[in-house]
Amino acid sequence: MAYTRRKIRGINLSFLLASFVFACWALVCAWFGWPRGFRGGSTAGFGLFAAAALFFGAFPAIWARYPSKHPVNHELLRYGDLAEVSERLDREMQGSVDVVGPFRFTASFLVYDSGHEFQLVPYDQIVSSEVDKVGSDEPSAVVVRTRSGRRYQWYRTWMQGIFDPEQVSKKIRAAARLDAPAG
């Protein structure tokens, strides 16, 4: 199965799984009368969890009806025709891919794939890559700017992925040829 199709299915599955978990908690509230701290607590708990289940379950349905709204397709559409960019990314992901944490370095794309998130930046669109050290307690971030003015910022956290920001920024600069002499 191609990379983009697998990524689309993975994101859909994560939303459906979240919907299932919230629906199960709604059933627990309805069955056991939880929480009991206030009058009508089980009704309120059931209502909130059921609403959350519907909320998360609605996204895959919307994406099935309007595929261009899916986060993966939406990101791919930024850089041209969906079929062409998807095919090119699938082909490059089958080849030699350098992986550093959630980052995938293909021949012409920087792919950020943290499991629940997907971002794609062609190397020819990158104009700068730097490490932003906010404070001593806060994690470092990799900041990438593109020709169109978009700014991507990825922190080194357990939710966004564990990686060495210096190494990632160096690999981005090398792949995008930012350190090459102009000419």
**128 three-state secondary structure:** strand
pLDDT at residue 104, as a whole number: 97
Q: Cβ contacts of residue 175 below 8 Å, gap of 6+? A: 105, 110, 123
In CATH, the number for domain 96-175 is 2.30.29.30
Dist CA 150 CA 74 (whole Å): 15
pLDDT at residue 37, as a whole number: 67
Helix, strand, coil share of the chain (percent; to 5): 50, 20, 30
Report yes or no: 72 and 11 within 8 Å, Cβ to Cβ. yes
pTM: 0.86
Residuewise pLDDT in 10s, the chain (183 residues): 699 999 999 999 999 999 999 999 999 988 888 777 667 778 888 999 999 999 999 999 999 999 999 999 999 999 999 999 999 999 999 999 999 999 999 999 999 998 889 999 999 999 999 998 766 677 789 999 999 999 999 998 888 889 999 999 999 999 999 987 765
The two structure tokens encoding residue 178: 């930012």
Report yes or no: 176 and 142 within 8 Å, Cβ to Cβ. no
pLDDT at residue 31, as a whole number: 86
